[in-house]
Amino acid sequence: MTELIYQTDSYINEFNATITAVDSETRAVVLDQSAFYPGGGGQPNDTGTLSVDNGTEYPVTKVKKQGADVLHFLGGDEPLPQVGAQVHGQIDWDKRYLLMRTHTAMHVLCGTVFRDYGALVTGGNMEPGKGRMDFEFERLQGELVGEIEAAVNKEAEAGHDVRVKILPREEAFQIPDLIRTKINLLPEGITEVRTVEIVGLDLQADGGTHVKNTSEVGTIKVVNYKSKGAINKRIYIEVV
Ligand SMILES: [Zn+2]
């Protein structure tokens, strides 16, 4: 089982850990704790490096969650470290921090669009610096794009704190904002729910990494929108 450092502190970009399992076929190692985000909820996994005491540094090319473990796939062709080895992990911080700004921008967008137009999010995806979000948003037309862009930038600049909490399932299931974002679809076995709140704007169940205040997001550009039918609309953003 890997302790997920990024769940409680998304600003930790290097850490020490112990290798608890090695799969030589896929060149994957499991650590007792990790700050690497394994991907999910539309946010891609982190990349970076793992170094061992003898000086060998492995590129971490991919990270994936498997049950309670986080698998770190090591590139290169150096012999793999052994179970029990102490390692130092370093995340590619430029990429990760841009993803944090992008992810928080996406939540600013969905909170603002729900507040102003009552439109619900149905899905989304992001890469560093850009993202797309799908809404049930019948009224979305070209002329609303400028209005949405102005509103989301006003919220980003307002400097809302972003708070992360881990709540017991029963408690989370009582919160109206979480019910609206379909928290009831969470699998039965999950006993705790991690929530991300942009104070005063948005609250949702979310596993991703975020900046601690919306003032860190920067400028949000609404770069495009697409009609995916009468109801379903897609909005594309970039953060600069
Ligand atoms: Zn999210």
pLDDT at 216: 98
Alpha-helical runs (H) found in the chain = 5-8, 93-117, 142-157, 169-172, 176-180
pLDDT at 127: 98
Token digits for 78?
A: 């150096």
Contact 239, 123 (CB under 8 A): no
Distance of CA 197 from the midpoint of ligand 1 (Å)? 10
pLDDT at 184: 64
d(CA 96, CA 22): 25
Distance of CA 208 from the midpoint of ligand 1 (Å)? 6
CA quadruple 207, 212, 213, 218: dihedral sign:
negative
CA 221 to centroid of chain Cα atoms = 19
d(CA 108, CA 101): 10
Distance of CA 31 from the midpoint of ligand 1 (Å)? 25
Token digits for 5?
A: 């450092």
pLDDT at 142: 86
Token digits for 226?
A: 């697409």
Record the pTM. Answer: 0.95
93 φψ region: left (φ > 0), alpha (ψ -120 to 50), beta (else): alpha
Distance of CA 83 from the midpoint of ligand 1 (Å)? 34
Task: To the nearest 10°, report the CA torsion of 35, 71, 130, 59.
Answer: 80
Tens of pLDDT, residue by residue, the chain (240 residues): 999 999 999 999 999 999 999 999 999 999 999 999 999 999 999 999 999 988 899 999 999 999 999 999 999 999 999 999 999 999 999 999 999 999 999 999 999 999 999 999 988 999 999 999 999 999 988 889 999 999 999 999 999 999 999 999 989 888 888 877 666 677 778 889 999 999 999 999 999 999 999 999 999 999 999 999 999 999 999 999
pLDDT at 189: 82
